[in-house]
Amino acid sequence: TRGFTVAIDGPAASGKGTISKAVAEHFGFAHLDTGLLYRAVGAKVLLGIEPVAAARALVPEDLDSDALRTPEIAQEASKVAALPEVRAALVDFQRSFAARAGGAVLDGRDIGTVICPAAQVKLFVIADAVVRARRRFAELTEKGIQTTFEDVLADVHARDERDMGRVDAPLRAADDAVEIDTTEMKIADAVAAAVALIEAKR
């Protein structure tokens, strides 16, 4: 499975992260949540560092922190993600990860379209925005982060618009991506669907 790449894209809280983790475990592939790259840059910008310099100086250890999963950092991440020079600084790391021996799963917004256009499997995971906001609200509440459903829904809409509306690498399905709509799906069924699609291409 040298160079076997699975690209999983979709909007915030669509279920792509959960599906990616599960299929990586199932097949023994390495997994990269590429949103963490933009979150790590966003976190540095919130500390006063210039975005392009922050992106160029990023090291893998910057991605380890659970502290990157706050709504403030998510919003800042989607702002820095609109900057072409930030995106360009992160391309090589993602492509090397994708090419590693043993197979890799990368999830994000532009993996199937820009980072790994030759990926053997491309999935585009979507769900209704209200359902996504409900999931994200439950996640944040469980982590002890104080917020309201209305704020989370507004954040989801704001990020969707920014991610789909930017000029460089906007969020969209690659022509050859398979869509999985998780709005009314149990997570186990979504994972099973993804596993079957990958199995068919191996």
| Residue set of the binding site | 10-18
Is residue 110 a contact point for ligand C5P (CB under 6 A)? yes
Residue 159 interacts with ligand C5P (CB under 6 A): yes or no: yes
Residues annotated in the binding site for ATP, as ranges?
10-18
41 lines the binding site for ligand C5P (CB under 6 A): no
CB of 37 to ligand C5P, least distance (A): 7
182 is a site residue for ligand C5P (CB under 6 A): no
The Cα 68–Cα 49 span in angstroms is: 16
What gap in Å lies between CA 20 and CA 194, rounded to an integer? 9
Give the number of other Cβ atoms within 10 Å of residue 90's Cβ: 20
Query: Measured between alpha carbons, how far is 162 from 82 in angstroms, rounded to an integer?
Result: 8
Per CB under 6 A, does 35 bind ligand C5P?
yes
Q: Does 54 help bind ligand C5P (rule: CB under 6 A)?
A: no
- 182-to-84, 114, 125, 135 alpha-carbon distances in Å: 30, 24, 7, 11
Q: How far apart are CA 105 and CA 44, in angstroms?
A: 26
Minimum CB separation of residue 42 from ligand C5P in Å reads 8
Among 14, 20, 70, 78, binds ligand C5P (CB under 6 A): 78
Written as one letter, the residue type at 192 is A
Residues that bind ligand C5P (CB under 6 A): 12, 34-35, 38-39, 74, 77-78, 81, 108-111, 159, 163
